[in-house]
Amino acid sequence: MPIQPSGATERPHVKTKIIATVGPACEARERLRDLILAGVDVFRLNFAHGTHDWLSGILTSIRSASLELGRPVGILADLAGPKIRLGELAPDGIQLTDGARVVFVRAADPRDPSQLTCSYDRLIDDLQPGDRIMLADGLVAMRVVEKPSSSDRLVCQVDRPGRIRSRQGVNLPGATLHTPALTEKDRDDLTWALDNRIDYIGLSFVRSAADIVQLREAIAAKSPTASPGIVAKIEKMEGVAELERILPLVDAIMVARGDLGVEVDIALVPVLQKQIVRQCNELGVPVITATQMLDSMQTKETPTRAEATDVANAVLDGSDAVMLSGETAIGMYPVQTVSVMNRIAGEAEKLLPAQHAGKTSNSSRIRATPVTQAVTLGAGVAADHLSADLIVVATRSGRTALAVSNQRRYVPILALSDNAETVRRMTLYWGVIAVQTSAAGASHEALMQFVVEWGRRSGLVRSDGRFVLVTSTDWSSEAKDTLLVHVMP
């Protein structure tokens, strides 16, 4: 990857990262390029849709555009997980009326439209009278009112009417399910992701720390050349309850408000979002806020005021990244949507110093040595005290850059590495500008020269400015953690 160029491809430094989901609306290489220029830091590949051949083409286009622009871009492969779906219905679906009775059976009689099936074969075994069933992203709701002793069917009463269609999602709030953390499809998709050196793997419907352990074991069994980071998607109350145990095992958390908003009372979603983000901030784990952030921009060129406020609040809460789904995958205005999100995040960040600047983690979760954490803390304090233009981090693993990022200081962080995988991983870190260069592992003189030239080209370092440089022990066993302050000549 070449050095990031100056000029037309530069954009104002926004610290909150933007993740965009790829779909038919942005699959063309030029459109992907435009999205990078508009502010995308990480692209999400949704394995619930698209073949491996199609995804391979997308991946090639993303990496080609990234190389052309000299701007690293991360890739998040989102495994579909054990999503429960309705079986086949009539072409137009079924309109369910309030109070109507429907029956879930193991094998439906095609002559009886009131009989439903789903992809989860233990549904009838696991549910009891009083349990709720949510369909069509929660738009239709019913509850179990009868379970005959034969246990071959569930009689349900519709509490929230609406139309249901084949293959729509089924949510079972509060029920203890016996679904695997990784389906056979997930394992196949994981192999593709590892073969293609994907940067992050998203695990859907995480319920416990054991789910993460299972994914790590599946990755280790493949002996990949580069191990991806793991993003745990929190979209069930079981995952919320187990978050404290999940956090030490993952590289990032996603607050997946779509399914979470179906699994719990909608009034709880904003509260849970803030609680999850706060826990992640306290433990130094990057956190992504996702789902319907600018949803109306699928069909309109401007968002609602409420959506703009939602994005700003996610930034103010402490989100490291905000994510777009249908807005970029199938929406009419993907590039405009990213541009608007970038602008909103930039404006919200102007309020962050009083709330978050100088925050330090009190957790041993950060994968850096105590000495490195102390040196990076000192770098942050020095940068603030000296009104430095940049904090520069030379790192091989990215741990030092994450330690600085977790302080949430307003000073931009330039993270340099000679490792391409590390650079792409750092695209998810708040406030970090990731650049690949061989100067990262060179002498202090070569490193200083590179930063001075980069700072002048980018315009982020004033002619009479200063920057603070941190190098860490992860370069070699002989290397030492160092902190230097450079004053521009």
pLDDT of 23 higher than 90: yes
Neighbours of 398 (CB within 10 A): 28
Q: Output the pTM of the full model.
A: 0.91
pLDDT of 287 higher than 90: yes
pLDDT of 472 higher than 90: no
Question: Do 18 and 321 form a contact (C-beta atoms < 8 A)?
Answer: yes
Same domain, 318 and 231: yes
291 is catalytic: yes
DSSP-derived pairing of the beta strands 169-171 and 132-135? antiparallel
CATH of the domain at 135: 2.40.33.10
- Residue 386 resides in a domain: yes
The vertex-125 CA angle with 122 and 130, nearest 5°, equals: 115
408 is catalytic: no
Same domain, 219 and 76: yes
Q: Which of 21, 291, 328, 400 is catalytic?
A: 291
- Residue 11 resides in a domain: no
pLDDT at residue number 320: 98
Q: How does residue 91 score in pLDDT terms, banded at 50, 70 and 90?
A: confident
Same domain, 118 and 135: yes
Question: What is the mean predicted confidence (pLDDT) over 50-56?
Answer: 95
pLDDT of 8 higher than 50: no
Same domain, 195 and 324: yes
Same domain, 342 and 407: no
Q: How does residue 19 score in pLDDT terms, banded at 50, 70 and 90?
A: very high
Concatenated DSSP letters of 332-395: S-HHHHHHHHHHHHHHHHTT-HHHHTT-----TTSSS-HHHHHHHHHHHHHHHHHT-SEEEEE-
Question: What is the mean predicted confidence (pLDDT) over 283-311?
Answer: 97
Q: How does residue 277 score in pLDDT terms, banded at 50, 70 and 90?
A: very high
Which of 135, 153, 171 is at the close of a domain?
171
472-476 contact pairs (CB < 8 A, 24+): 472/368, 472/372, 472/375, 472/393, 472/394, 472/395, 472/396, 472/399, 472/400, 473/369, 473/371, 473/372, 474/395, 474/396, 474/397, 474/399, 474/400, 475/394, 475/396, 475/441
> How does pLDDT run across 394-408, given as a tens digit for each residue?
999 999 999 999 999
Q: How does residue 444 score in pLDDT terms, banded at 50, 70 and 90?
A: confident
> How does pLDDT run across 325-381, given as a tens digit for each residue?
999 999 999 999 999 999 999 999 999 864 445 455 544 445 567 777 888 889 999
pLDDT at residue number 440: 87
Q: Which of 17, 233, 236, 399 is catalytic?
A: 233
- Residue 6 resides in a domain: no
pLDDT at residue number 273: 98
Query: How many percent of the chain have pLDDT more than 70?
Result: 92
pLDDT at residue number 175: 85
Same domain, 440 and 390: yes
Q: How far is CA 163 from CA 141, 160, 224, 251, 296, in A?
A: 11, 10, 45, 39, 22
Same domain, 96 and 218: no
Q: How does residue 443 score in pLDDT terms, banded at 50, 70 and 90?
A: confident
- Residue 156 resides in a domain: yes
Same domain, 76 and 93: no
Question: What is the mean predicted confidence (pLDDT) over 245-263?
Answer: 95
- Residue 364 resides in a domain: no
> How does pLDDT run across 384-394, given as a tens digit for each residue?
999 999 999 99
Question: What is the mean predicted confidence (pLDDT) over 273-278?
Answer: 97
pLDDT at residue number 478: 46
CATH of the domain at 446: 3.40.1380.20
Q: How far is CA 317 from CA 252, 274, 349, 462, in A?
A: 16, 6, 11, 31
pLDDT of 7 higher than 50: no
> How does pLDDT run across 100-119, given as a tens digit for each residue?
999 999 887 767 777 899 99
- Residue 365 resides in a domain: no
CATH of the domain at 223: 3.20.20.60
Q: Which of 85, 222, 359, 466 is catalytic?
A: 85
Q: How does residue 1 score in pLDDT terms, banded at 50, 70 and 90?
A: very low
- Residue 314 resides in a domain: yes
Between 442 and 220, the more confident residue is: 220
Q: What is the mean pLDDT of the chain?
A: 90
Residue 55: closest CA among 27, 83, 34: 27
Question: Do 426 and 398 form a contact (C-beta atoms < 8 A)?
Answer: yes
Which of 146, 171, 196 is at the close of a domain?
171
> How does pLDDT run across 113-145, given as a tens digit for each residue?
778 999 998 999 999 999 999 998 889 999 999
Q: Which amino acid is at 37?
A: L
Same domain, 30 and 71: yes
pLDDT of 177 higher than 90: no
Question: Do 209 and 176 form a contact (C-beta atoms < 8 A)?
Answer: no
Q: Which of 44, 147, 207, 396 is catalytic?
A: 44
Which structural domain, as residue segments, surrounds residue 296?
Answer: 17-82+181-350
Which of 153, 171, 189 is at the close of a domain?
171
Place of tokens 């720390």: 209
Question: What is the mean predicted confidence (pLDDT) over 69-73?
Answer: 96
Same domain, 251 and 319: yes
pLDDT of 172 higher than 60: yes
pLDDT at residue number 92: 87
Tally of structural domains, the chain: 3
- Residue 483 resides in a domain: yes
Same domain, 158 and 241: no
Q: How does residue 471 score in pLDDT terms, banded at 50, 70 and 90?
A: confident
pLDDT-wise least confident of 48-62, 313-327, 344-358: 344-358
Same domain, 37 and 136: no
pLDDT of 168 higher than 70: yes
Q: Which amino acid is at 152?
A: D
